[in-house]
Structure 1
Amino acid sequence: MSFMNLTEEESYVHSNISCLDNSRKAAYILLYMSVTVVVSLTVCGNLLVIISVCHFKQLQTPTNFLLFSLAMADFLVGVIVMPLYFTMLIEPHSCFGILYCIILDAAGFYLTCISIYNVALIAVDRYIALSNPFHYSMKMTTNITLRIIAILWLYSLIYNMMLLYFNGNIIDIKANIPCGECNVKVNNEWSIIDFIIVFVLPCSMIIILYLKIFTIATKQANKIRSVRKCPQIHNSSMASERKAAKTLGVQVAVFLLCLVPYYVSAFLNEFLRNRYVHLTISIAASLVYLNSSINPIIYALFYPWFQRSFKLILTLRIFGTDSSLLNVLERETNVK
């Protein structure tokens, strides 16, 4: 009788373990499927932006080359950083090698820095174009923009190599890495420097310039309405003002919403060293990388040229003769 009870008890425990393993496998499959969808959206969406700007001659403007640079950084985040980072989150007890951690940390720091300063450059570009359009059209050429982009990528590379090297991470990372950990340790001095250079300065610039852009756009719309008392002009200027405000507002709000939590929590973590703050950093870092997935969605919703070029690419019309000369900037007269 006791033998039968023991057998029943063992089978009950074994069935519970089996159910737990099945539930765990189902959870892993669901998580990896979600990550696959996010990574695919990031890679494909940004690749469409890259192809659009490279292929269509009409889109090869200074502003669009800045969008191209941002899309390239987001594309590399989807190809390199996201798979490594989300795998580490899903498998917290796994042991990751030295090369794994070097690629994840270096690429994450580097591409995030490029994205932040790219958005700042876009703010500068739009402010100059709106405040002094004649000077902008004469001075801001495609070659100058490409040089600025090259300097940005080189500057970000040098800065992040200095950040990693002078913290001793290049040396320390050669030691054994604890399982489940793959984090760069930044000392207090470099934490403050990085917080100011990569977060405070560019984000302050973005906020100030976009506030000025809203002010200039409002003044220009008011001048148009006061000079030409025409209902059609009134409606078109108001529509243009609302559209510009909506596009810029959404871009800046989403960008800051994804960026601010990470840098604030990372800065606090250097002084508090609290496990709850560390957990917040992991969640906030996911938001930073997810911003690379959101950017193409914003382009698709608010940029008609992206919608048209997207259709041309998917229907394979870009392989036709002189397809690079197709008109993808068909602006409606009531929005001009």
Structure 2
Amino acid sequence: MTSNLSQASVTLLCYENVSRSCIKTPYSLGSRLILYAVFGLGSLLAVFGNLLVMTSVLHFKQLHSPANFLITSLACADFLVGMTVMPFSMVRSVESCWYFGARFCTLHSCCDAAFCYSSLFHLCFISIDRYIAVTDPLLYPNKFTVSVSGICISISWILPIVYSGAVFYTGVSDDGMEELVSALNCVGGCQIVVNQDWVLVDFLLFFIPTLVMIILYSKIFVVAKQQAIKIENIGSKAKSSSESYKARVAKRERKAAKTLGVTVVAFMISWLPYTIETLIDAFMGFITPTYIYEICCWCAYYNSAMNPLIYALFYPWFRKAIKVILSGKFLKGSSSTISLFSE
């Protein structure tokens, strides 16, 4: 009896009666329900959380600023991950089969890479924005204008889309690995093989912006510490209105930098396991078990759901905006001029 069950589980296929069908790894009903709940929750948080971020910034006029437009564009990338990537990856992860066709597999992989790299580029530009804001808060509005923000947003979208499209639709990613691709090619699978050269390129695309962010936020931390000491000295003396204004501006920009610094750290923690796993896997002959890959993959996906939670935790204006939106008050014509700041 046990032998028969074991044999049945080994021979279970994604598509019965189809030649070269991929072998399906079965999960118990309880395990499948738990996985669907966990992955589905991540997708819903990514979709609705980032939708709230986009609605808040675009609707309330008080939030219309170059920095917030960058945050909105970042939320759009995370929203697309939750809407177009995570649901299909959820079925693939739980069912261990791809039921959506080979062409959509390529499109899904292209969107996955494009939107995730777009998030990374947005965070890199946001760190540059915060560095300018903290180091030169009074001249910052003249340096980081709406047009500059628009250029940063354009680069953050165009480069990842062009790069991902070129890699996945030209076939250059699996050059020299034709035998392995042929061996892995089965009906019901969606495993994109990337050779060592392109894995290194992917790693550099992750490593270089991440290094830039680490350097900039390290400098921001040093400058913020120096500014805090100056503000304490100003507070202990009779200070002019000009000095008081400088102190308030510096304090506000440091707080914003701290919040976005947490966002960057969360991104690196989420994506580092996946980046290291793909790098090691490419040079070790793709021997990593599927479940390890799926765990690393979903850690990365969940980052798209984390950013709205971080904003809700650190931004009082975002919490107030959520209350207005969820209560339906934002449908009133005058709601766009509501003050979201306490000071």
TM over 0.5, shorter chain: yes
Alignment of 1:307 with 2:319, yes or no, is yes
Task: Render the CA deviation track for 1:32-54: whole Å, top value 9, x for unaligned.
Answer: 23333221111110000010011
Superposition deviation, residue 143 in structure 1: 2.9
More helix by share: 1
Matches within 5 A, 1:136-215: 136-168=140-172, 177-179=185-187, 181-196=189-204, 198-215=205-222
TM-score by length of 2: 0.80
The structure with the largest alpha-carbon Rg is 1
Q: Aligned letter for 1:182?
A: C
* DSSP 3-state at the match of 1:276: coil
* DSSP 3-state at the match of 1:133: coil
Superposition deviation, residue 158 in structure 1: 1.1
**Alignment match of 2:235 (pick from 199, 204, 228):** 228
Superposition deviation, residue 163 in structure 1: 2.2
Alignment of 1:122 with 2:126, yes or no, is yes
Superposition deviation, residue 315 in structure 1: 0.8
Between the two proteins, what is the percent identity of the paired residues? 36
Q: Aligned letter for 1:26?
A: G
Matches within 5 A, 1:59-98: 59-93=63-97, 96-98=100-102
Distance 1:206 1:312, change over 3 A: same
Deviates more, 1:67-76 or 1:135-144: 135-144
Q: Aligned letter for 2:115?
A: L
Q: Aligned letter for 1:162?
A: A
Task: Measure the CA separation in 1 of the matches of 2:251 and 2:67.
Answer: 22
Point out where structure 1 has 5 or more consecutive residues left out of the alignment.
1-8, 18-22, 332-336
* DSSP 3-state at the match of 2:139: helix
Partner of 2:303: 291
Instruction: Report how many residues are paired.
Output: 310
Alignment of 1:40 with 2:44, yes or no, is yes
* DSSP 3-state at the match of 1:330: coil
Task: Measure the CA separation in 1 of the matches of 2:32 and 2:340.
Answer: 43
Deviates more, 1:163-172 or 1:263-272: 163-172
Q: Aligned letter for 1:213?
A: I
- Runs of 4+ residues deviating >6 angstroms: 170-176, 236-242
Partner of 1:28: 32
Contact 1:97 1:177 in 2 (8 A): no
Superposition deviation, residue 130 in structure 1: 1.1
Superposition deviation, residue 166 in structure 1: 4.8
Task: Measure the CA separation in 2 of the matches of 1:241 and 1:47.
Answer: 25
Alignment of 1:317 with 2:329, yes or no, is yes
Q: Aligned letter for 1:317?
A: K
Distance 1:278 1:24, change over 3 A: closer
**Alignment match of 1:260 (pick from 243, 247, 272):** 272
Q: Aligned letter for 1:184?
A: I
Task: Render the CA deviation track for 1:132-177: whole Å, top value 9, x for unaligned.
Answer: 2233211321233123202321111111122224544699899994
TM-score by length of 1: 0.82
Point out where structure 2 has 5 or more consecutive residues left out of the alignment.
10-26, 238-243
Partner of 2:19: none
* DSSP 3-state at the match of 2:138: helix
Q: Aligned letter for 2:202?
A: D
Q: Aligned letter for 2:263?
A: Q
Task: Measure the CA separation in 1 of the matches of 2:260 and 2:157.
Answer: 24
